[in-house]
Amino acid sequence: MVERAARTAGTRDRIAQAALAQVAAGGYASATVNAVAHRAGVAAGSVYTHFPSKADLFAEVFREANAGELALVAEIAARHGDTVPDRLAAAVNAWARRALAGPTLAWALMGEPVDPAVELERLASKRGFRDVFAALLDEGVARREIQPLDARTVAAAIVGAMQEALLGPLADPEDNHDPLVGSLISFVLHAVQAKELQV
């Protein structure tokens, strides 16, 4: 019984990993159930045994992929030995560079047309990033490292601006994204009127 449950969980995980790999390779539009099943080495019917629909599968895939990115940004934001402007700059830098290093997956996670269930996960992810940035901004105000502001509104604006600014460059094969990343960091630090601009 335990062995069968482990085998079932293993197959489910393999399907989810195959779905993520398919999105990373060809975008959401390429991620048909047949393509995922082929990549996972299972029959297409097996996908539906573990996930009620394609939308359910990819909602989970997007939730997990975004959770990984959010965890990285949250870890940087929590480095209490650094100033808030330094952590803000480091979080923007890491988020932007990871997106630019995996442009197909980043486009799927941020901007590609998706099913409504997947779009709900995308919106939840944006709220997660907003909350991390808002907590960091509140800390910065409390420590007098940034000017007083409405942290949730400004954090939401940062998340929206970051994603909008990255969507075009994700399609650009340019190797050197340093100017873009530097501009994003500078924009965010100026937007929050950081006392010590770390660009």
pLDDT the model gives residue 198: 45
Residues 179/180/185/187 CA torsion (nearest 10 deg): 110
pLDDT the model gives residue 199: 45
pLDDT the model gives residue 171: 79
pLDDT the model gives residue 175: 74
Q: Which two tokens stand for residue 125?
A: 């992810």
CATH for 55-191 is: 1.10.357.10
pLDDT the model gives residue 172: 75
Q: How far apart are alpha carbons 68 and 61 in whole angstroms?
A: 11
> For residue 84, what are the contacts with CB-CB under 8 A and spacing of at least 6?
136, 137, 139, 140, 143, 145, 146, 194
Q: How far apart are alpha carbons 29 and 32 in whole angstroms?
A: 7
Regions of the chain with pLDDT less than 50: 2, 197-199
Contact 50, 12 (CB under 8 A): yes
- Locate the domains of the chain by residue range: 1-51, 55-191
pLDDT the model gives residue 173: 67
Burial (CB count within 10 angstroms: exposed 0-12, middle 13-18, buried 19+), residue 182: middle
- List the one residue out of 111, 194, 184, 179 whose CA is nearest residue 149: 194
State whether CATH 2.20.25 applies to domain 1-51: no
Name the β-bridge partners of 146. Answer: 194
Q: How far apart are alpha carbons 110 and 3 in whole angstroms?
A: 38
Tens-digit pLDDT profile for residues 121-172: 999 999 999 999 999 999 999 999 999 999 999 999 999 999 999 998 887 7
pLDDT the model gives residue 39: 96
